[in-house]
A = this chain, B = another copy of it.
């Protein structure tokens, strides 16, 4: 096992009607002028935005609002947000939405608190020295951005999708009311469950050190999401299942399920980032579409972990060789994805790349990770291309 840092300062307020505490929490963390940043119209149509502005009005907190954060949030809107914050002397960001609004808000926060071009951080050119304080009202359980140190932004020019991680970006508070996720389309709920599981699976499939307690927590979390994703497929209004998935989403990506390991594998995410950059597919669906091909390419190099996953998460029978058990686990995971209407290849995802596009994605991916990357198995550009080809 390795040493580790663990830092999750976000104050979580979880349960029904917790959005009514937004103004109090903003005051607690010193906010006086707020940028409310949100995504599409659902936050408006559902009345949530109105409830939030009423709450701030009643508390005498002034604010400006900026909507328009889209899945795979764009750099252009980030620049717009930075300008707005500077013009209006905003000292606190409130993201209302899912990962898109939160990631976009984090980028705005870096842009306001640091000189120069905010894209530098996402382009690995320099480190942020601060971030405007940020609170979250979460409406989609998926990215875990509400407690994580990471954000992902897409630069329109060349559709370059990049992630940046800094503890400065961890939200000060996260308001989580499972009821707010009940109106999500089923497809988005399933995408969220996939993303949540993948955040922990990326940390789980490693050849670096492991801790027993981390494995036990990870497996418990994965079993919980797997079970409740199916419950939500059949009954999207099940409050308890919504709550299980929502809390799992935060714990899956706040660092807890990676303590003591080597940092994780993360290649499924890197491969999906290229898909997301080029085709604007839903992140969770992209992950599901690529994971099986990745797993079959790497499992022999990481057999003890794949066997353990098969037994303790997928609950397959403990018979046959380790390879057979590992492969049955991969199949069981793909069966699960299909059972919640997630794709297990690019065709099912609805994209049909040309060979040139596959080559381009593998090349961009390799450049993005600095040549090669991975822990279950280190992948170079050739390996990335092989996985993309197998996933068609």
A59 at the interface (CB under 8 A from B): no
| Set B13, B217, B244: member contacting A220, Cβ < 8 A | B217
A residues in contact (CB < 8 Å) with B:
1-9, 11-16, 18, 211-213, 216-217, 219-221, 223-224, 227-228, 240, 243-244, 247-248, 251, 256, 259-260
Chain B residues with Cβ below 8 Å from A217 are 216-217, 220-221, 251
Contact A3 B14 (CB under 8 A): yes
How far is the CB of A136 from the nearest CB of chain B, in Å? 14
Contacts of A211 in B (CB 8 A): 240, 243-244, 247
Count of chain copies: 2
Docked-complex contact A16 and B1, CB < 8 angstroms: no
* Beyond known contacts A212-B228, A216-B220, A216-B224: 13 more, CB 8 A cutoff: A1-B240, A4-B15, A5-B13, A6-B12, A7-B12, A211-B240, A212-B227, A213-B221, A213-B248, A216-B219, A216-B223, A217-B251, A247-B260
User: Are B224 and A220 closer than 8 Å at their CB atoms?
Assistant: no
> Within 8 Å CB of A213, what residues of B?
220-221, 224, 244, 247-248, 251
* CB neighbours of A13 from chain B (8 A): 3, 5
Shortest CB distance A308–B (Å):
13
Closest residue of chain B to A250 (Cβ to Cβ) is: B6
* Contact partners of A243 in chain B: CB under 8 A: 1, 211, 260
Residue in A6, A16, A240 with the greatest tally of chain B CB atoms within 10 Å: A6
Known A216-B223, A247-B213; contact A7-B3, beta-carbon cutoff 8 A: no
Contacts of A6 in B (CB 8 A): 11-12, 14
Residues on B with C-beta less than 8 A from A1 are 240, 243
Task: Assess whether B9 is in contact with A4, with CB atoms less than 8 Å apart.
Answer: no
Q: Which residues of B contact A15 (CB under 8 A)?
A: 2-4
What are 28 A-B contacts defined by CB distance under 8 Å? A1-B240, A3-B14, A3-B16, A3-B18, A5-B13, A6-B12, A6-B14, A7-B11, A8-B9, A9-B9, A9-B11, A14-B259, A211-B240, A211-B244, A212-B244, A213-B220, A213-B221, A213-B247, A213-B248, A216-B220, A216-B223, A217-B217, A217-B220, A217-B221, A217-B251, A243-B260, A247-B259, A247-B260
Residue of B nearest to A13 (CB): B5
Q: Whole-angstrom distance from the CB of A22 to the nearest CB of chain B?
A: 15
Q: How far is the CA of A159 from the CA of B211 in the complex (A)?
A: 41
User: Hey, which chain B residues are within 8 Å of A221, CB to CB?
Assistant: 213, 216-217
In the assembled complex, the CB of A248 is this many whole angstroms from the nearest CB of chain B, namely: 5
B residues less than 8 Å from A12 (CB atoms): 4-7
* Interchain CA distance A345-B228 in the complex, whole Å: 42
Distance A228 CA – B211 CA, assembled complex (angstroms): 12
Q: Which residues of B contact A4 (CB under 8 A)?
A: 12, 14-15
Min C-beta distance of A330 to chain B, whole Å? 22
Closest 10 CB pairs of A and B: A3-B15, A216-B220, A6-B12, A9-B9, A213-B224, A7-B11, A220-B220, A212-B224, A4-B14, A217-B217
